[in-house]
Chains A and B, each alone.
Chain A
Amino acid sequence: MAKGYLALVLHAHLPYVRHPEYAFSLEERWFYEAVSECYIPLIWTFEKLLQDRVPFQVTLSLSPTLLSMLTDPFLQERYVRHLEKLIELGEKEVRRTRGTPFAVPAGMYLERYRNAHHTFCHRYHRNLVSAFRGFHATGAVEVITSAATHGYLPLMMLHPEAVHAQISVGVDVYRRHFGKKPPGMWLPECGYVHNLDRILAEEGIKYFFTDTHGVLFASHRPRFGVYAPIYCPSGVAAFGRDAESSKQVWSAQEGYPGDFDYREYYRDIGFDLDYDYIKDYVHPNGLRVHTGYKYYRITGKGRHKEPYVPEWADGKAVNHAGNFMFNRQHQIRYLAKFMDRPPLVVAPYDAELFGHWWFEGPRWLEVLARKIAFEQDELELITPGHYLQRHRCNQVATPCDSSWGKGGYNEVWLSDKNDWIYRHLHWAAEKMIELAERFPDAEGDLRRALNQAARELLLAQASDWAFIMSTGTMVDYAIRRTKQHLVNFKGLWHQINENRIEPFWVSELENRNNVFPDIDYRVYSPR
């Protein structure tokens, strides 16, 4: 039996960015880039491990908005076209770079995009959720989900029904894709607030994650710090993040992703090459964007960059996987001295870090899983679900209100840049709850209008908008999305109240903001 456990947790989420009204949408590209650079490479990683019969355990959270986008036929079609353009560009690039040091990376990308095309179109028939369903069925990847639109729950608690709707819709979307309730839930931004666990318990959720201080500063001092979960009084388990393992991967200064041999994210031919050459692959209005063809390695702290050498980067990924494992072994050996059970190190990351920003991340993950499986026996990979099956008796304490955002609490989502949204969000939540109470069994157009009002409210609540306003890129888009969904909600509320629903307008909104087609507005009914 292993001396200790490592729980790797990847949280994959993107806000709902589907814009049929534009021929070219920068925000939709977030989704395409994440699919090509992160989700498909992670699928390859899991496929390789399963194919080679490597015993491993990873937890993967797929947010409900991401699940919805991955299964949306319109976005699937557009993604295929996006990929075809990338392949076309790659073919040109291979010809252009022949005989230069960039020929190797150019060829590498072309092959990757061709493989991505094959994986997407032919192996999974455009539905990547089916890939994750397959992994989940093997027991190696524990797929969980998050709140419906990744709403930041601590600032929604004035209306517990609204929080319940976020959780319940998330659970429902998951059930439609995976056939059963999610075993655990990723709280958006790890945002925990008092009594949230009770709502999770009602929905059958067994566990969630908090930042380090969420468990460490619990109501009763946890005997094992963050190296064992605690049970909330409701019986839901809270797993606290290990700060050390996080930092090794997250920190750009001291972490692995800043290694000089790794690929430089910021140099992309979309910016580097002549406009005339690249114009068909960037924004039609002339705005240069990332294409994904990035030929340099980080090289050093300065601006001078050298060509990327895949073998060197691969060697580093192998080294870093070994180093990570070594550090965890060391950590576990130390911790085990103080504990009556094997220590558990919980290492959660944004999935989009892997492959997109840290290009070699999926490879690192693969090597790490292999090394842990075959090169040692002190450390074992585990998922929270399996941990709780093995260790059923845990300390009881109420976690501390917290998040994994800057500052550790609600500051990122409640600053002078975004505090104005809450009076509107709270008003809308209050009105939605009133509507659900007033119309316990609506039919026809009224029902459609009520369901669409619920969708608009959920979309307005996405934590992403407040986050973007706080961090300062694409602020206009975030403000526009927040306002638009709230204005739509208010319009629907007026029409419902004044008994003058315009079915055409409701249809238009249903088409434009078509997330969660099976939503039932009664999820907001007072409980």
Chain B
Amino acid sequence: MTATVWAAVAILLVLSVALFLWIRTDRTRRRVATRPQISFDEEFAQEISPEPLQQPSEFVCELPRRYGQDRLALLVRDPGWLFAYWEVSATRLEAIRSSPKWRNARPVLRLYNVTGVDFNGHNALSFVDVPITPDATSWHIEVNQPNCSFCVDLGRLAPNGEFFTILRSNIVTTPRAALSDRIDEEWMWIEGIYRSIVKAETGVSSVLIVEELGRKAAEIPGVSSATLIQDRGEV
């Protein structure tokens, strides 16, 4: 008899401890749970991308600020803009600083228009100097010239107008932003068995092209995921 009573008391005790523990853990969980506080009316989920707030931020090694090389790279962003980044090695920088003629010279990017030219440093169609800040290592350059080739020099411009080149970039060509004026046509038979050049009757598809352009101005280019999300977000 007493054994049963003891057993019952023991079971009760275990149960109450379990209940206590359960309530505690439940509470802590709840505390965690209330943190995000996301109202579904305001959430803007993306395509296949969960919300920010990732696992506790993880240690990431940082990338070097410099690679110890001389380099000036020029990239095309679109028909209106270029992007240049550069690095001047320490030895080069030292040489520059020790030379008296560099004193008082302003840092600039000299942008050469080299369209249709085999550029040798002196035969550019035109050039323009873009002033930059002394510590800049990259620059977005506005050109607004589709279908043109460019080269950039990183250099210093002395008060007397003299320009010293430090680094020269690769040559790039901006993309076309309109229909080509070239309306001569060449046709190809892919196996190479037959290859003919047919002089064009022009304007066959001008209706379509005008329509296409009209549409492009309105909505396209690039109805890719990015645009889709933006559209959707406004609904």
B18 located at the interface, meaning its Cβ lies under 8 Å from any Cβ of chain A in the complex = no
Contacting pair B208 A220 (CB below 8 A)? no
B118 located at the interface, meaning its Cβ lies under 8 Å from any Cβ of chain A in the complex = no
Q: Report Cα–Cα, A158/B173, bound state, in Å.
A: 13
Q: Report Cα–Cα, A409/B33, bound state, in Å.
A: 44
Contacting pair B224 A288 (CB below 8 A)? no
Q: Report Cα–Cα, A251/B235, bound state, in Å.
A: 12
Evaluate whether A33 and B48 lie within 8 angstroms (CB atoms) in the complex, with A279-B33, A394-B188, A483-B60 already known: yes
- Residues of chain A lying within 8 A (CB to CB) of residue B192: 235
Contacting pair A393 B189 (CB below 8 A)? yes
Q: Report Cα–Cα, A225/B208, bound state, in Å.
A: 7
Contacting pair A251 B32 (CB below 8 A)? no
Bits for B16-40, please: 1 = Cβ < 8 Å to A, else 0: 0000000000000110111110101
A243 located at the interface, meaning its Cβ lies under 8 Å from any Cβ of chain B in the complex = yes
Contacting pair A392 B190 (CB below 8 A)? yes
Q: Which B residue's beta carbon lies closest to that of A300?
A: B235
In chain A between 167 and 219, which residues have their CB closer than 8 angstroms to a CB of chain B?
Answer: 189, 194, 211-213, 216-219
A502 located at the interface, meaning its Cβ lies under 8 Å from any Cβ of chain B in the complex = no
A418 to chain B, nearest CB (A): 11
In chain B between 199 and 235, which residues have their CB closer than 8 angstroms to a CB of chain A?
Answer: 200, 202, 204-205, 207-209, 212, 215-216, 219-229, 231-232, 235
B5 located at the interface, meaning its Cβ lies under 8 Å from any Cβ of chain A in the complex = no
B170 located at the interface, meaning its Cβ lies under 8 Å from any Cβ of chain A in the complex = yes
B160 located at the interface, meaning its Cβ lies under 8 Å from any Cβ of chain A in the complex = no
Bits for B180-191, please: 1 = Cβ < 8 Å to A, else 0: 111111111111
Choose from A22, A223, A401, A471 the contact partner of B200 (Cβ within 8 Å): A223
Q: Report Cα–Cα, A158/B176, bound state, in Å.
A: 20
Evaluate whether A476 and B52 lie within 8 angstroms (CB atoms) in the complex, with A395-B185, A401-B76 already known: yes
- Residues of chain B lying within 8 A (CB to CB) of residue A395: 185-188
B49 located at the interface, meaning its Cβ lies under 8 Å from any Cβ of chain A in the complex = yes
Q: Which B residue's beta carbon lies closest to that of A21?
A: B58
Q: Report Cα–Cα, A357/B49, bound state, in Å.
A: 11
* Most chain B C-beta atoms within 10 Å of own C-beta, residue among A267, A286, A480: A286
- Residues of chain B lying within 8 A (CB to CB) of residue A231: 188, 190
Q: Report Cα–Cα, A223/B199, bound state, in Å.
A: 11
Q: Report Cα–Cα, A28/B49, bound state, in Å.
A: 10
B92 located at the interface, meaning its Cβ lies under 8 Å from any Cβ of chain A in the complex = no
Q: Report Cα–Cα, A282/B211, bound state, in Å.
A: 48
- Residues of chain B lying within 8 A (CB to CB) of residue A22: 55
Q: Report Cα–Cα, A285/B222, bound state, in Å.
A: 37
Chain B contact surface mostly: loop
- Residues of chain A lying within 8 A (CB to CB) of residue B183: 220-221
Q: Report Cα–Cα, A416/B85, bound state, in Å.
A: 12
A97 located at the interface, meaning its Cβ lies under 8 Å from any Cβ of chain B in the complex = no
- Which of A98-106, A420-428, A447-455 lies at the interface with chain B? A420-428
Contacting pair B194 A393 (CB below 8 A)? yes
A44 located at the interface, meaning its Cβ lies under 8 Å from any Cβ of chain B in the complex = no
Choose from B45, B78, B222, B224 the contact partner of A350 (Cβ within 8 Å): B224
Size range of the chain A interface in the assembly: 35 or more
Q: Report Cα–Cα, A227/B211, bound state, in Å.
A: 13
Evaluate whether A275 and B78 lie within 8 angstroms (CB atoms) in the complex, with A33-B48, A356-B47, A416-B140 already known: no
A461 located at the interface, meaning its Cβ lies under 8 Å from any Cβ of chain B in the complex = no
Contacting pair A474 B180 (CB below 8 A)? no
Bits for A32-57, please: 1 = Cβ < 8 Å to B, else 0: 01100000000000000000000000
Contacting pair B220 A409 (CB below 8 A)? no
Contacting pair B85 A419 (CB below 8 A)? yes
Contacting pair A409 B73 (CB below 8 A)? no
- Residues of chain A lying within 8 A (CB to CB) of residue B220: 211-212, 243, 246-247, 408
Contacting pair A483 B223 (CB below 8 A)? no
Evaluate whether A224 and B205 lie within 8 angstroms (CB atoms) in the complex, with A252-B228, A266-B44, A286-B33 already known: yes
Contacting pair B209 A471 (CB below 8 A)? no
A211 to chain B, nearest CB (A): 5
Choose from A221, A288, A393, A474 the contact partner of B49 (Cβ within 8 Å): A474
Contacting pair A251 B223 (CB below 8 A)? yes
Q: Report Cα–Cα, A474/B186, bound state, in Å.
A: 47
Contacting pair B61 A211 (CB below 8 A)? no
Contacting pair A220 B48 (CB below 8 A)? no
Can you offer 16 A-B residue contacts whose CB atoms are under 8 A? Answer: A158-B73, A211-B222, A212-B212, A213-B216, A217-B178, A231-B190, A247-B219, A252-B235, A266-B43, A392-B190, A401-B175, A402-B221, A410-B77, A423-B67, A426-B73, A487-B61
List A residues at the B interface (Cβ < 8 Å): 14, 22, 25-27, 29-30, 33-34, 154-155, 158, 189, 194, 211-213, 216-227, 231, 235, 237, 243-244, 246-247, 250-253, 258, 265-268, 271-272, 275-276, 279, 285-290, 301, 303, 335, 338-339, 350, 352-353, 356-357, 388, 392-397, 400-412, 414-416, 419-420, 422-424, 426-427, 467-468, 470-471, 473-477, 479-480, 483-484, 486-487, 490
With A422-B75, A470-B226 given, name 17 new contacts (CB 8 A): A26-B51, A29-B50, A30-B49, A216-B209, A217-B177, A251-B223, A271-B43, A356-B47, A394-B188, A404-B223, A405-B224, A409-B78, A419-B85, A422-B85, A423-B137, A473-B52, A484-B60
